[in-house]
Structure 1
Amino acid sequence: MAVAMLCALLTAGCAATQAAPEQNSGPTPLTAADALGDFGSVDYCSLLNVPAVAPGAVAVPTFESCHAQAGPRTILVGPLAFDSDPNIKPYDYPGPVPDGVAVQQSMFNDRSACTRAITFADGNRLDLSVTDNGSDQGGRCDVADAAVGSALAAITAHKVGRLTFPDRSWGRVAPCVLLDTHDLDSAAGPGGRPATGLSGHSCIRGKVSLKLTVETAEPAGPSEKLGGRDARVRLAGAFCLVDATQPAPGLPGRRELAEISVVETAGTAGDATCALARTAATSILPRLPTP
């Protein structure tokens, strides 16, 4: 009897300590890092199914976007962003969306552009836009929604492509290194350290910023020598910009672009702002590799 009771107690004890069955944790919210991998080498044109979304378009990968041109219509996939944008609003996107991802619309410039944002679970977003000179906003937005669907399909199928940067390409350059110098103290303003953009191909230090990419349109304006390179200086609202290019290694017929800008925090940029931009360019451009 005592042995039987002992066995019953041991059996009950063993039953009480059995592991509980594993629970299904459900889907994992999709972050931008999980979706895209290394932000610095994403081939954004791999997210755009050109035959389906824009038949006949010519798609050009830059370091942080894909620029597709079909006649007067431009489709832009990218760049990545994290900053808050008050123009972005919810809307009823008609297609499937991965867990943790939201598709939103932007009301900015909505007379000539339809802009969408794919916002991932970590708050990073991928901007997509369709721009032309017509009045058919519905048509533009149909193409924008198709581009969103194309991007999400490539992401969920794990078909995000990678860019490779040949030797001497500006895609290999860490732009913040070029801004971390006392030569730029006057142009950048007092204090502040260089801060890189999400893609790793842009950097800002105070009032000075540097972006490295592949040009999609020839910079306008007369050329002048700055830092030993041909450069163009132009005003754009509160900014004075300096553009310089070189042949893009590995992309015949294309040119890489270094865009240096200085912002006038007090209002519209003018000659004084451009003087600072020229000073920044004279420091930065000689340190970029040549092909």
Structure 2
Amino acid sequence: MLCALLAGGCATTQAAPEPASGPTPLTAAEALGDFGSIDYCSLLDVPAVAPGAVAVPTFEDCHATAGPRTILVGPLAFDSDPNIKPYDYAGPVPDGVAVQQSMFNDRTACTRAITFADGNRLDLSVADDTGDQAARCGVADAAVGSALAAITAHKVGRLAFPERSWGRVAPCVPLDDHDLDAAAGPGSRPSIGLSGHSCIRGKVSLKLTVETTEPAGPAEKLGGRDARVRVAGAFCLADTTQPAPGLPGHRELAEISVVETAGTAGDATCALARSAANAIFPRLPTP
């Protein structure tokens, strides 16, 4: 009665509804942790997926080879890829995660993509020269299942980078230098890659990883280091290596690329790549 006499001076307070519970869409950060230290080989159950394969972790992926077949787990990517299409993957998939297929190079490779709720994706591919795409895709699906099992069991391993390893280098630091203005382009600024081991500044990019194949081309001296220069389509690449700390028999790779925006790279593009290498290579740690 008192509330009625006061014409609305009293109000009824209701408890806030409990938030709805349910599955949480899985992001790449939640699944994989720090992108810069992922041991991609921990996502591959080699005995189950590729018995007898030799797996080598790099900074951005895992290479597992068995005879003519190569299984690649990684890298991470965010950019859109028109080759990636929907795919009816038969295994269990965490909430918010999609498994897709890529039609690129499907005569010699079978490629899958695990795309997380935040749009980041993990690429996996199986390549060989057998001509048996069904067999390759069977292995690729097994690799997807292995990766998802490791992720859901929270068994993603971490890489440890020893002293003097290029895995410890912040790759945008050596690109933030006026000596690169001509090669990179005026007004360009460095931008870090998704994994933290690559950086792009205008027309110049730097990638740091562990090599899995011997770099091609005759050796020459750039920035005081043994280096090789080669053309790859619109790019001229300059790279150098050092022994990989903690990985006996392997070498770390620093690869500089300069893109020719007008078409195919040539002598002028490679002159810029050599100039960039002379500025960047001396700033990398030595073993």
TM-score by structure 1 length? 0.93
Structure 2 Cα separation of the partners of residues 234 and 31 of structure 1? 38
Partner of 1:289: 285
Q: How does 1:171-190 map to 2 (within 5 A)?
A: 171-190=167-186
Partner of 1:155: 151
Paired residues, number: 278
Post-superposition shift, 1:216?
Answer: 0.3
Post-superposition shift, 1:285?
Answer: 0.3
Partner of 1:143: 139
Partner of 2:62: 66
Q: Amino acid of the residue matched to residue 214 of structure 1?
A: V
Partner of 2:35: 39
**Quick one: which of 233, 238, 251 aligns to 2:229?**
233
Partner of 2:212: 216
Task: Determine if the alignment matches structure 1 residue 271 to structure 2 residue 270.
Answer: no
Q: Amino acid of the residue matched to residue 112 of structure 2?
A: R
Structure 2 Cα separation of the partners of residues 45 and 244 of structure 1? 24
Post-superposition shift, 1:21?
Answer: 7.0
Q: Which runs of 5+ in 1 are unaligned?
A: 7-15
Partner of 1:251: 247
Greater share of helix = 1
Q: Amino acid of the residue matched to residue 192 of structure 1?
A: S
Structure 2 Cα separation of the partners of residues 44 and 91 of structure 1? 23
Structure 2 Cα separation of the partners of residues 141 and 197 of structure 1? 29
Q: Amino acid of the residue matched to residue 243 of structure 2?
A: P
Q: How does 1:76-91 map to 2 (within 5 A)?
A: 76-91=72-87
- Superposed CA RMSD in Å reads 1.4
Question: 1:108-140: per-residue Cα shift (whole Å, max 9, x none)?
Answer: 001001010000000000000001112100100
Structure 2 Cα separation of the partners of residues 22 and 180 of structure 1? 50
Structure 2 Cα separation of the partners of residues 222 and 192 of structure 1? 31
TM-score by structure 2 length? 0.94
Post-superposition shift, 1:23?
Answer: 5.1
Q: Which runs of 5+ in 2 are unaligned?
A: 3-11
Structure 1 Cα separation of the partners of residues 227 and 168 of structure 2? 21
Structure 2 Cα separation of the partners of residues 143 and 272 of structure 1? 43
Q: Amino acid of the residue matched to residue 281 of structure 1?
A: A
Q: How does 1:1-80 map to 2 (within 5 A)?
A: 19=15, 22=18, 24-80=20-76
Structure 1 Cα separation of the partners of residues 83 and 57 of structure 2? 26
> What secondary structure does 2:174 align onto?
helix
Question: 1:54-100: per-residue Cα shift (whole Å, max 9, x none)?
Answer: 00000000001000001000000000000010100001011010000
Structure 1 Cα separation of the partners of residues 184 and 205 of structure 2? 9
